[in-house]
Structure 1
Amino acid sequence: MEGDFTPIENQRLPTLYEVLLRQTSPPVDLWSFYTFLSQFPYAIDFLDFWIDLMAHVRLCRDYVRGVKESIEARNSELIADDAHSDESNVLLDALLTEGYLDFKNARRVSQFLRGNVEESMRISRLLDTFKQDHRLSTQSDREADEFLAAMVDDMLKQKIHKDKQPKMTRKQLINNASQICRQYLLSPQESPRYLINVPDEIRMKALHAVQSERRFDPELFEDLRNLSYDFLEMDCFPKFLNRVALHNLHDQLSDWRFQTTAAIGKSKGDIRGQRSASPLSTYSGLGRIALGLCWLGIGFWIGYVLIFLHYSRAIRVTTIVPFGIGCYFSVCGIYQVDILYSWFGVTQRLMYEKKLPSDREEDVPKSRTRVPTIFALLGGRSRLMPVHHPFIKKLLLRRGMWCFLLVVVSTAVLTVLFSCVPGKRI
C-alpha cells in the first residue's frame, strides 16, 4: 500500500480521506491534523467522533470475522466426526453461504448485524422451522432476530470456552454504540463532546436506533458519518493544509485538550519541561518579526552614525550584516517560512514535543532526526521534525527560495542606499 501511494505523494497534496486512513507522511499525518484541530474545541469533536466510529466499525468486522471462523470451525468438526448437522448448524451455515458474513457485501453484513436476514427465502424458511421447534420446547415468544442473535452468542461462547481466546460479542458492540451516543449525541449537558449543529432529526434517529431498537451496526451512524466528513473536508482540512503545507513556522498550540488528570499529575513537578526556552519557538512568526525589526533598527542606527561621521563608503558597507539579519527574520516571520528550515527539509511541530500527553505516548508517532545545532538559535530543536512528504518538501523549498530572493533584494537595496549616500560630518 505504501509503495503504491509513494508516487502520489510526489505529485500532489493529500486528501482528507488519505489522512484519515493514515496513508500520509508528516507533517500531514493524522496526528498533526488532530493536533491542529485541538485549538478548535467543537471541530475536534467531529474528528473524535469519526475516529471512535471507525473503531466501532473495526469491532463490528472483528465480530463478523469471529462468527465466520466459528461457523467454519463447527463445520470442520462435523466433517471430521462424520456427524449429522442439526437445524442450528444448517441455519448458521446458510448465513455463510448466503453472503451475510462476506465483507465484500457490506449491505448483507449490515443486515446480519441488525438481525434482518429474512430477505433470503432459504434462511427465512429455516428460521420459521427452528422457531416453531424452539417454541414447542420453551414456549418463548422471541422474534426471529433474537433467536438468531442468541444462537450466534451461544456459538461464540462455546468457541471462547474451547479456544481460551476472547471474542467480540453482540453485547459489547451494543455497549460500544451506546457509549458513542452518550459521548456525542445526548445533549450539551450530558455529552462531554456533544456534536453541535447536527440536525435533530439525524441525531434522534441514531439515538432511537441504539436505545430502542438495540442496533449497533455501523449503518445507523451513516448520516452522522457523512455529516462529520463533509464538515472536516470543507471547513477544517483546507485550513490545516494551508497551515502545514505552505508554512514551516507555527506558533505553539495550547495543550488544553491533552491535559488529562494523569498527565497533569505527572507534569506538576516538571513545569519547566513543558516550556520552550526560546521565544522564537512559542511565537515563531511574531518573534521573528520583532527580532528582525530590532536588527533593522540597529542597521539604521549604524548607517546614520557612519553617514554623519563621514566614514568612507567602504566602511559603511558593513551595514549589510544587521540589514541582512533583520531582513531574514522579518521576511521569514511575515511569510512564516524559515529559509534554513526549508533548505534542510525540516518544519516546526504544532506542539512542543515535551507537551505531548504522556498517557498517549504509544499513539504519538515519534520522528527522530539529527537537527543541526544552529537551529537551536532559531527557535529550539525540540519542536523540529523532518518533512517526509515529498510534495510538501518541494513546495516549502520553493517558498524558501522566494523568501531568500526577497531577503537578498531588500538587503542589497538598504546596503547600497546607506553606502552611496554622501557623508557629512556634523
Structure 2
Amino acid sequence: MTRNRLPTLFEVLSRRTHPPVDLFSFYIYMRDQQRSVDYLDFWLDVAQHMSLCRHYVRELRRSVLVGTPDLEKDQDKRSSMALEALGDFNSSPAGPSHYATEKEREQNAQMSAYLREQQPHTPGTYHDSPSSSQEHRTRSSMQLGTPHQLTSDSTSPAHAVSREDIRASAEKILYTFLLPGAEREITLPGSITQDITIAIEQDGRDDPEVFDVAKDYVFQAMERDAFPGFLRARALGNLIPPTIIARLIIGLVSIFGGFWTSFILIFLDRSRLDRCYVILPFTIGVYLLASYQYSLDPLMALLGFTEYTPFKFSRIREPYVRKLLVKRSIMVLAVTVLVDAALCVLFILVPGKRL
C-alpha cells in the first residue's frame, strides 16, 4: 500500500507495511523495549487460530460443493446447507471486531455458530477433516513468535486441518497465555479469563468467538500503550536505546575533550591555526549529542538505513517513513552545524592569554 501517513496498528499486524514499521520490527520493539511480547504472541496465536478455523470450514465447504462421500458420513443435510450459506471466505487477516466489515462480522459469526453446532458432545472426539488420509500428519507449528515466520504473508497451514487441530490450538492459547500461573500469562480482567476458561474446558468450545473479547482487549492495550512509542522509535528515529546511550556517553566525553583542549590552547596563547584542531572533538561531540537528543543518526537515515538490533541494520522501505526521516535528518544536521560552528568560532577566535 502507498500511504501518505504513518500506518495503523492493524496495518502492521496484518503485514501491510514495510521496514522499519513492519511486523518484525514491532515484534522486536515489544520484546526488547516494551518487554511485553507475550501480548503480541497472544494476538498472533489467536489470529492463527482464526486462520485454522477458516481453513477447516473452507475445506468442508469445498467438499460439500463437490459432493465427496467422506463428508456425507460425517455431516447431515442441515450441516451441508449451513456450509453452503457461509460463502467463500476472503483472505483478509483476522483483526479486532470493530475493524471488520459487516460482511466479515456476519461471516465470522456464522462460522463460529457452525463450529459450535458441530462440536462433539463427548470430550475428545472430533470430526475429521475432509482429507481423512492426512489426519495423522505431523502438525505444523502454530507459533508465530519467530522472526522468519513473521515475514510470511500467509498463515494458512500447508496440510489439511482436522477438528483436533482446532481444539489443540484453542487449548494451547488457553494453557500458554490465560490460565493463572501459565508459562507466558498475560494480564487480562478476571471476568474475561474466566469466561474463556469455562467456554473451552467446560463447554468444549473451540470456535474463534471464544477469544474475541480478549483479542479486542489486547489490541486496544497495544494500540494505547505500545504502538505510539513504536512509531516514535521507528518512524521518527533510527537508533535503538543501547546505541543512543552509547552516543550520549561518547558525545559527552568528546565535548569535554574539546573544551579541555580549547582552554589549554587559549591559556598557552597558541595561534588560531593551532586551535583549529578543536573542530574535530566538537564536531564529533555535537553530532553524537544531537543523535542522542533526536534518537536519529542523520547520515545513516539519509543513506536509507535503520538499526533494529545492535550492529544490525535494514533498509528503510516504507516510503512515507523514509520521507519523514530525511526531513528530520536535514533538520538535525542543520542544528549540528550551527552549534558546532558557534563553539568552534568562539574558542578559535577568542584572544589567547598565557598564564
Identify the TM-score tier after normalising by the shorter chain: 0.7 to 0.9
Alignment of 1:259-278 (within 5 A): none
Alignment of 1:317-356 (within 5 A): 317-349=276-308, 351-352=309-310
Deviations 1:117-175 (A, max 9, x none): xxxxxxxxxxxxxxxxxxxxxxxxxxxx659xx999367365759xxx95322222122
Deviations 1:229-256 (A, max 9, x none): 11011111111111111221213xxxxx
From 208, 213, 218, give the equivalent of 1:218.
Answer: 208
Alignment of 1:296-307 (within 5 A): 296-307=255-266
The structure-2 alpha-carbon separation of the partners of 1:218 and 1:303, relative to structure 1 and needing over 3 Å to count, comes to same
Does 17-26 or 396-405 show the bigger shift? 396-405
The structure-2 alpha-carbon separation of the partners of 1:325 and 1:171, relative to structure 1 and needing over 3 Å to count, comes to closer
Partner of 1:396: 325
Q: Check whether the contact 2:59–2:129 (CA below 8 A) recurs between aligned residues.
A: no
Partner of 2:186: 195
CA distance in 1: counterparts of 2:20 and 2:331, whole angstroms? 21
Q: Check whether the contact 2:301–2:329 (CA below 8 A) recurs between aligned residues.
A: yes
Letter of the structure 2 residue corresponding to residue 30 of structure 1: L
Which structure's CA Rg is the greater one?
1
The structure-2 alpha-carbon separation of the partners of 1:207 and 1:35, relative to structure 1 and needing over 3 Å to count, comes to same
Q: Check whether the contact 1:387–1:393 (CA below 8 A) recurs between aligned residues.
A: yes
- Is the counterpart of residue 207 in structure 1 residue 197 in structure 2? yes
CA distance in 1: counterparts of 2:73 and 2:245, whole angstroms? 76
From 23, 31, 34, give the equivalent of 1:30.
Answer: 23
- Is the counterpart of residue 95 in structure 1 residue 97 in structure 2? no
Unaligned runs of 5+ in 2: 90-103, 136-157
Shift of residue 309 of structure 1? Answer: 2.8
Letter of the structure 2 residue corresponding to residue 33 of structure 1: F
Shift of residue 72 of structure 1? Answer: 2.0
Q: Check whether the contact 1:346–1:385 (CA below 8 A) recurs between aligned residues.
A: yes
Q: State percent identity of aligned pairs.
A: 33
SS at match of 2:328: helix
CA distance in 2: counterparts of 1:86 and 1:57, whole angstroms? 26
Unaligned runs of 5+ in 1: 78-84, 117-144, 252-282, 353-381
Letter of the structure 1 residue corresponding to residue 292 of structure 2: G
CA distance in 1: counterparts of 2:25 and 2:74, whole angstroms? 53
Shift of residue 200 of structure 1? Answer: 1.7
Letter of the structure 2 residue corresponding to residue 193 of structure 1: R
- Is the counterpart of residue 13 in structure 1 residue 6 in structure 2? yes
Deviations 1:382-415 (A, max 9, x none): 4222111122222222222222112111111112
The structure-2 alpha-carbon separation of the partners of 1:342 and 1:160, relative to structure 1 and needing over 3 Å to count, comes to closer
From 269, 275, 284, give the equivalent of 1:310.
Answer: 269
Partner of 1:289: 248
Letter of the structure 1 residue corresponding to residue 270 of structure 2: Y
Q: Check whether the contact 1:100–1:111 (CA below 8 A) recurs between aligned residues.
A: no
The structure-2 alpha-carbon separation of the partners of 1:180 and 1:154, relative to structure 1 and needing over 3 Å to count, comes to closer
Deviations 1:77-112 (A, max 9, x none): 9xxxxxxx9996644542344x14553522222211
SS at match of 2:67: helix
CA distance in 2: counterparts of 1:406 and 1:324, whole angstroms? 12
Partner of 1:49: 42
The structure-2 alpha-carbon separation of the partners of 1:413 and 1:208, relative to structure 1 and needing over 3 Å to count, comes to same
Partner of 2:96: none
TM-score norm. by structure 2 comes to 0.79
- Is the counterpart of residue 239 in structure 1 residue 229 in structure 2? yes
Partner of 1:127: none
CA distance in 2: counterparts of 1:14 and 1:316, whole angstroms? 49
The structure-2 alpha-carbon separation of the partners of 1:306 and 1:185, relative to structure 1 and needing over 3 Å to count, comes to closer
CA distance in 2: counterparts of 1:95 and 1:324, whole angstroms? 72
Does 65-74 or 298-307 show the bigger shift? 298-307
Deviations 1:269-305 (A, max 9, x none): xxxxxxxxxxxxxx31222222222322332233223
Q: How many residues align?
A: 316
TM-score norm. by structure 1 comes to 0.67
Letter of the structure 1 residue corresponding to residue 169 of structure 2: N
Partner of 1:74: 67
Letter of the structure 2 residue corresponding to residue 327 of structure 1: V
SS at match of 2:314: strand
Letter of the structure 1 residue corresponding to residue 191 of structure 2: E
SS at match of 1:239: helix
SS at match of 1:115: helix
The structure-2 alpha-carbon separation of the partners of 1:94 and 1:229, relative to structure 1 and needing over 3 Å to count, comes to same
Shift of residue 423 of structure 1? Answer: 1.8
Partner of 2:127: 153
